Structure 1
Amino acid sequence: MLRWALIFFVVAIVAAIFGFGGLAAGAASIAKVLFFIFIVLFLLTLIFGGKILGK
């Protein structure tokens, strides 16, 4: 998931450089959402020791 967040972040930067403001804003918001989902899942895994996923 972190990989997808980074990919959308790079897409947003490249789109912003070439002047595609709407595309850049959309990609940045997707990257932001994916990053926060990653952070929440990472913290839950740290807190519960992987027991959330049934391991």
Structure 2
Amino acid sequence: MSFDELLYRAKAGDMDAKAEIFAMYRPLLIKYSLVNRRFDEDLYQELAAELMKCIRYFRDAE
């Protein structure tokens, strides 16, 4: 399945699609959750919530 299709399914509420996108971006979320080489759980949660928000508000090109 292409990323576009996965994104549309996630936006429509498909929890499996959301989980797959989250799994794809998890390494990046972890990378940007490091502050002074230490993992910041609160920052990770904020970034994860922002990712889910981006999926919800994604507007497709018309």
Greater helix share, structure number = 1
| TM-score, normalised by the number of residues in structure 2 | 0.39
TM-score (norm 1): 0.42
Structure (1 or 2) with the larger CA radius of gyration: 1
